[in-house]
């Protein structure tokens, strides 16, 4: 803001003041929020003044340039020009600040994503464990070679042998076939062994019982110094049972890890979403406002936002990304940022432009992932009591003019990301005291009850008329309560968002 | 919900019957993915026997339409019933899709574009 600009540009301000003083002025003063914050020469009396020009941020006066002494038309024009230039500098630096804060926002999300991928790297090395089991077997039972085989349901067999590469691929094939056709312990020795595996003196094959849906076996080949005797077989059996327990645990751990991954993804999606929603309700002249959002367990991509800027109309938006989970949450944060940046653009673009520009920017990314976002952008001008809006495929939006009939404000353009160009145009409605506008998301209208009926638009319209006398917050809460009651016993499977605007006296 | 698919020249026809919603959208999604792998990716979804459609179903159709257009094909719709047509009008998806009143017209439109 102004004091920061003066601090950073002091020599330039000094040169500006120098020019005035050289031209015969007694003083040059910069005023911010009614207080002089810089003046030249240092002994000047900042309250003495012959010329004053206002400094503006948008439509709000934030300060003055004052000069004492000169009073000619040319001097006035010069001071005016300087004030206009300085105002536009303030405006730009202000815009830069808002863009910077959005960048910081985005960076925070990226960091959260990075943390997630780091924690997911701590995976168990399943194959390494199988190898260790095989090599322990070789050492304890004293055999030339041993192998462990595991098959998780629907996946190919995993085989680890010790010593490494002890068997030729075709031997492994035959061993696999043998494991699959034999459901019980198998001991091959002498002729029988040599017939099936030319270089085997003997083979002990032990299927391993695993409770979870996986198959496993331990195989021992060529007992050192002779045949497998009863104590060898007992020892091998004990190792197999131990191996079974370890495999069981490892599989369980992997399953938990999968679940933890999913869980983390859900939580992250929810965090991304909740962090980006406004934390307060705005105070708007002529409007009683209330908005809130309830994320579903499997997060969807709902969002709402508003923009209040001195001298600009009050701008609000509600959007819904198609799809669910982390991808929807990330696209939601992107869409919200783009809309925010476009709406902040100078000077206060209308809803139609915000929607059109956002569509241009997001179209390619959305096409890449075959998703889209329904978006409603509204602007309320307190003095004229007019509401301007653009609706890109969003529903339900309900408008209730006091004493009249509630009706849906239909979209005139498709959702953002579907077509390269947006068709949405500015629509205009009067917004008088008692009028109600509800911008909700389909999580509300598409809530199901246990009979598989949908809440639907008709119930929402009736409900709006019945609730219209209440405050914005009461209307929102009653809407949620009624929908909850309707869908009692059914889990909420989509985000629900409600924004209520109600006209009030100024 | 029932799903039928057949081929008329190089156009894949998908017929959906019953509720087309969040519960029944996944098989349609899979069928569309397969159909779009065909060359050319010409798909007609016949909605004659669909009387109910929700937002998940809509996004399934949009995804199919976008994928097919990426490979110079298209996904077209025909025989929309009144309640379904209303949803398309409300969300203005009628501007995004090519919608025909009969399956024959939808198929012919593909053939004409080809000749």
A51 located within any domain: yes
Q: Report pTM.
A: 0.64
CB contact under 8 A, B55 and A454: no
A269 located within any domain: no
Which residue range forms the structural domain that includes residue A358? 277-503
Residue appearing with tokens 């969003």: A394
Which residue range forms the structural domain that includes residue B32? 2-114
Our count of domains for chain A comes to 3
Residue A107 vs residue A200, higher pLDDT: A200
CB contact under 8 A, B59 and A371: yes
Torsional sign, CA A448, A451, A453, A459 = negative
Nearest residue of A to residue B61, measured between CA atoms: A370
Q: Which residues of A touch B54 (CB under 8 A)?
A: 442, 446, 454
Q: Is the pLDDT of residue B106 over 80?
A: yes
Asked whether residue A252 falls in the same domain as residue A176, the answer is: yes
The per-residue pLDDT for B38 is 79
Asked whether residue A247 falls in the same domain as residue A282, the answer is: no
Q: What does the pLDDT look like over A50-105, one tens digit per residue?
A: 999 999 887 788 899 999 999 899 999 999 999 988 888 888 877 777 777 666 66
A461 located within any domain: yes
Our count of domains for chain B comes to 1
Q: Which residues of A touch B (CB under 8 A)?
A: 322-323, 367, 370-372, 374, 392-395, 408, 410-415, 418-419, 423, 442, 446, 454, 493
A106 located within any domain: no
A326 phi-psi bin (left φ>0, alpha ψ -120 to 50, beta other)? alpha
Asked whether residue A55 falls in the same domain as residue A188, the answer is: no
Asked whether residue A90 falls in the same domain as residue A225, the answer is: no
CB contact under 8 A, A322 and B67: no
The per-residue pLDDT for A238 is 86
Q: What does each C-alpha distance from A364 to A335, A336, A349, A368, B70 come to in angstroms?
A: 12, 16, 23, 6, 11
The CA distance from B89 to the nearest CA of chain A, in Å, is 8
Asked whether residue A6 falls in the same domain as residue A63, the answer is: yes
The CA distance from B91 to the nearest CA of chain A, in Å, is 4
Domain boundary among A259, A285, A319: A259
Query: Most A CBs within 10 Å: which of B91, B93, B95, as the mutation test of the A interface?
Result: B91
**DSSP bridge pairs for B4:** B15
Give the distance, in angstroms, between the CA of residue A124 and the centroid of all CA atoms in the same chain. Answer: 29
CB contact under 8 A, B63 and A408: no
Asked whether residue A473 falls in the same domain as residue A425, the answer is: yes
CB contact under 8 A, B91 and A395: yes
Q: Is the pLDDT of residue B115 over 70?
A: no
Tokens (6 digits) for A85? 């230039």
Asked whether residue A146 falls in the same domain as residue A241, the answer is: yes
Task: Write the CATH number for B83.
Answer: 3.30.750.24
Asked whether residue A335 falls in the same domain as residue A429, the answer is: yes
Asked whether residue A183 falls in the same domain as residue A249, the answer is: yes
Domain boundary among A259, A288, A304: A259
Asked whether residue A61 falls in the same domain as residue A202, the answer is: no
Asked whether residue A485 falls in the same domain as residue A397, the answer is: yes
Cα A486 from Cα A453, distance rounded (Å): 9
Q: What does the pLDDT look like over A132-166, one tens digit per residue?
A: 889 888 888 889 999 999 988 778 888 899 898 88
Asked whether residue A255 falls in the same domain as residue A283, the answer is: no
The per-residue pLDDT for A344 is 85
The CA distance from A419 to the nearest CA of chain B, in Å, is 7
State the count of interchain CB pairs (< 8 A) between A and B: 59
Rounded to 5 degrees, φ, ψ at B110 are -65, -45
| Assembly ipTM | 0.84
The per-residue pLDDT for A215 is 86
């Amino acid at each position: 803001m102004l004091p920061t600009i003066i601090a950073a540009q002091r020599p330039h301000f000094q040169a500006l003041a120098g020019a005035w003083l050289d031209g015969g002025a007694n003083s040059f003063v910069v005023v911010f929020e009614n207080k002089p914050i810089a003046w030249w020469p240092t002994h000047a009396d900042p309250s003495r003044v012959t010329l004053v020009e206002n400094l503006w941020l948008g439509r709000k006066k934030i300060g003055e340039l004052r000069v004492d002494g000169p009073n000619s038309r040319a001097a006035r024009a010069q001071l005016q020009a300087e004030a206009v230039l300085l105002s536009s500098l303030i405006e730009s630096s202000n815009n830069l600040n808002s863009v910077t804060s959005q960048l910081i926002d985005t960076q925070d999300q990226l960091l959260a994503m990075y943390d997630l991928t780091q924690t997911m790297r701590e995976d168990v090395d399943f194959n390494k464990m199988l190898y260790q089991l095989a090599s322990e077997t070789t050492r304890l039972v004293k055999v030339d070679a041993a192998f462990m085989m595991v098959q998780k349901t629907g996946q190919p067999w995993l085989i680890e042998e010790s010593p490494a590469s002890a068997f030729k691929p075709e031997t492994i094939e035959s061993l696999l076939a043998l494991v699959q056709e034999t459901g019980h312990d198998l001991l091959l020795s002498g002729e029988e062994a040599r017939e099936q595996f030319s270089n085997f003196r003997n083979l002990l094959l032990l299927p391993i019982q695993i409770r979870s849906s996986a198959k496993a076996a331990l195989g021992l080949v060529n007992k050192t110094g002779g045949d497998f005797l009863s104590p060898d077989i007992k020892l091998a059996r004990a190792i197999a049972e131990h191996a079974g327990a370890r495999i069981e645990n490892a599989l369980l751990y992997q399953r938990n890890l999968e679940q933890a991954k999913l869980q983390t993804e859900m939580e992250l999606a929810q965090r991304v979403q909740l962090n980006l929603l406004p934390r307060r309700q705005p105070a708007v002249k002529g409007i009683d406002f209330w908005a809130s959002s309830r994320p579903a367990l499997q997060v969807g991509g709902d969002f709402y936002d508003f923009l209040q800027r001195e001298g600009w109309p009050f701008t609000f938006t509600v959007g819904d990304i198609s799809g669910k989970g982390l991808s929807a949450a990330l696209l939601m944060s992107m869409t919200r940022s783009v809309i925010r940046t476009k709406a902040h653009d100078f000077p206060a673009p209308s809803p139609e432009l915000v929607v059109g520009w956002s569509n241009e920017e997001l179209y390619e990314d959305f096409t890449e992932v075959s998703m889209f976002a329904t978006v409603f952008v509204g602007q309320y001008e307190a003095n004229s009591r007019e509401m301007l809006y653009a609706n890109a495929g969003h529903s339900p939006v309900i408008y209730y003019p006091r004493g009249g009939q509630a009706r849906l404000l239909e979209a005139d353009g498709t959702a953002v990301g579907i077509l390269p160009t947006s068709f949405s145009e500015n629509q205009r409605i009067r917004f008088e005291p008692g009028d109600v506008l509800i911008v909700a998301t389909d999580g509300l209208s598409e809530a199901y009850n246990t009979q598989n009926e949908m809440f639907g638009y008709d119930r929402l319209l009736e409900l709006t008329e019945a609730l219209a006398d209440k405050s914005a917050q009461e209307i929102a809460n009653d809407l949620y309560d009624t929908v909850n009651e309707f869908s009692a016993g059914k889990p909420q499977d989509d985000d629900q968002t409600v924004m209520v605007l109600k006209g009030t006296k100024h | 919900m029932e799903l039928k698919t057949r081929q008329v020249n190089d156009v894949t026809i998908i017929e959906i019957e019953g509720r087309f919603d969040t519960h029944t959208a996944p098989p349609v999604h899979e069928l569309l993915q397969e159909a779009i792998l065909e060359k050319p990716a010409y798909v007609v979804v016949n909605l004659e026997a669909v009387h109910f459609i929700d937002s998940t179903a809509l996004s399934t159709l949009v995804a199919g339409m976008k994928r097919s257009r990426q490979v110079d094909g298209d996904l077209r719709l025909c025989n929309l019933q009144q309640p379904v047509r209303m949803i398309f009008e409300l969300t203005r998806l009628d501007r995004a899709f090519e919608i025909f009143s009969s399956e024959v017209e939808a198929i012919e439109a593909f053939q004409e574009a080809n000749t």
